[in-house]
Amino acid sequence: MDFMYKGKPILPTKTALHELSEIDVNLYDVPEILEKGFEIRKRAKNIIERGVQKRNKVINVVVVDMGNYYKLIHAGEFTLSKKFKKRMRDENGI
């Protein structure tokens, strides 16, 4: 089990594990989303939120840099709106 991002392990909270199972995403997918995903919104400097587009949905994960490890605090999905699509195209070239 290699849940690593930038050389640090990713440790999920119980709530985040439940959220992952609700959206049918595996914990193995979280490092890939963090590495290949796009930034959804600006957060505090030690919080990272990234997402990937799957059809008409965006799957996003939020991790907090705790120093020696990353804590996965949220995983979710939402439907793409026209406004969000336009903003992501402008910012990230999607």
Domains defined along the chain, listed by start: 4-92 (3.30.2310)
Give the H or E element holding residue 13: none
Say what the pTM is.
0.82
Is the per-residue pLDDT at 1 higher than 60? no
Beta bridge partners of 52: 59
61 close to 49: Cβ distance less than 8 angstroms? yes
Sequence length of the chain is: 94
pLDDT tens-digit map of 29-63: 999 999 998 888 888 899 999 999 888 888 999 99
CA 24 to CA 57: how far, in whole Å? 13
